[in-house]
Chain A
Amino acid sequence: MQVILPDRSVRTLSRTSAPIEEILLELGINPTTVIVVKNGKVVPEDVTAKKGDELRILRFSHGG
């Protein structure tokens, strides 16, 4: 699966399947501070990502 990080860099993960929350924690990201878009759809972090999925992680800036 492919993960597009908030800084737009791309990571390819070799795992076949894992809950998104677990993937985020492994990347050092607090799941409650981001929005995750899986294959173009916003999903909660307890959804499982599988091989071939694309995850886009959006971090929102503070204030303004």
Chain B
Amino acid sequence: MQCSKCRRDAVIYQRYSGLHLCEQHFNRDFEAKAKRAIREHRWIESGDTVAVALSGSKDSSAVLFFLHRLLHERRDVRLMAITVDEGIGGYRDPGLARAIADTIGVPWVTATFAEAYGLTLDEIVARKGTNLSCSCCGVLRRALMNRIAREEGVTKFAYGFNLDDEAQSVLMNALRGDAERLTRPVREAERMVPRIKPFMYIPEREVALYAFLHVEGFDLAGCPYAGDALRGDVRGILDDYAYRHPATKYSLVNLGEALREPERVTGEGLRVCERCGEPCGKICRTCQILDEMRKGT
């Protein structure tokens, strides 16, 4: 099958655009979409230090590769990678993330749950079970990322969230009837360092292909504890539906953006946890979780 823009062999067929693209034209299309997302949201500015939350997954590896390609000639923007080792036995050795950052040529730092909290995720799972651990892990990981960010002068966190993630979130909020989440995305502690999502307009499959073409040694396996059953269901429903109606994921993401109220940038509602000094909404979730763990409840 030939590329719609040249004579080379296609590597992908985009149902939603009707185009066949060769490797070169796929890269161009992919990077144009990511740049558009950055430009539209004014996500990267002069003086920024952008940190990629690098787990070693396809998404985070692809976003590191892309941002390095985009930024490596700029003297006014710094790029780095941060890997949090949650302590999950047999899963994602941080050495893997380090090798990816080294190969791409980006400075890399790491931190572990064990050192920061005196607990590994395996221990948390043993006490709390798989279901609750997933959200605890998220809270603890973000708190730790925030701490490193402050030490390193990070001004933006880059995540590999893709079109599918975004579309699933919008549909999940709709299915839950959660108008609050649809109109006001969560603004908790992690929002202290703004998050950027350069791949929000790019289908997951294309992020995987981009990683496959450019990054060696990324991890195809998912987290063994990932237990969001609703997201799994929604993913299946959405993939099946979008196979027949290819523009659906874009429609959902556009709907989500249209419903979202502009973020207020006042310091209103912002507090600091009395215990650890981390910024938080009301009560610091991180300290709550750690208290529960340490009490062994």
Contact = CB atoms under 8 A, between A and B. Distances in A.
B140 interface: no
A44 B231 CA distance: 27
A40 interface: no
Nearest to A34: B205
B1 A43 contact: yes
B192 interface: no
Using C-beta atoms within 8 Å of the partner chain, give the interface range for chain B. 35 or more
B226 A62 contact: yes
Contacts of B15: 32
A42 to B, nearest CB: 4
A46 interface: yes
Interface stretch (B36-44, B109-117, B238-246, B265-273): B238-246
B146 interface: no
19 contacts: A32-B15, A32-B242, A33-B239, A34-B205, A35-B205, A42-B23, A42-B212, A43-B9, A43-B10, A44-B10, A46-B1, A47-B1, A58-B208, A58-B212, A58-B220, A62-B222, A63-B165, A63-B223, A64-B223
Interface of A: 30-35, 41-47, 58-64
Given A42-B212, A61-B220, 4 more contacts: A30-B243, A32-B205, A35-B208, A64-B160
Interface of B: 1, 9-13, 15, 20, 23, 55-60, 160, 165, 203-205, 208-209, 212-213, 219-223, 226, 231-232, 235, 239-240, 242-243
